[in-house]
Structure 1
C-alpha cells in the first residue's frame, strides 16, 4: 500500500517559512516521509491545516 501523502506536485520551498508551498511540509519531513510510520505521517498531515492558517495570516510583501 502506498503511504499517505499530502503532496500535490507543487514542490517549491518557501524561503521564509522553509515549508513546501504545495504541501506545507518541512524539508526534513519530506526527506524522511518514506521511512516514517503511517501514524507519524497522519499526525503531520493533521497539523497541516494549522500551518496553512498560520501561513495565510502572515502579511505578504
Structure 2
C-alpha cells in the first residue's frame, strides 16, 4: 500500500489528554493514538467515526 492510500491521522498538533484520557485536539483516546500506526485503514475509519461523534458532543 502506498503512503498516499493510508487514512491520515486526525492529529492537529494540540496534544493534551483530558481527565477521560481523550486528546483535546484530535479527540482520540491515548490507546487509539498509540495504536494508530499499526491499524488497518478499516480500523482507522472506525476510529474516525468515533472521533466525529466525540467532536459533535463537545460542540453541543
RMSD: 1.5
Question: Which runs of no fewer than 5 residues in structure 2 stay unpaired?
Answer: none
Q: 1:6 aligns with which of 6, 10, 34?
A: 10
Matched, 1:18 2:18: no
The C-alpha deviation readout for 1:1-51, integer Å capped at 9, x for no partner, is: 064110000000012x21000000000000111001111001111221211
Corresponding residue pairs, total = 56
Q: 2:33 aligns with which of 27, 30, 33?
A: 30
TM-score normalised per structure 1: 0.78
TM-score by length of 2: 0.79
Displaced runs of 4 or more, over 4 A: none
Q: 1:52 aligns with which of 51, 55, 60?
A: 55
Q: Which has the higher helix share?
A: 2
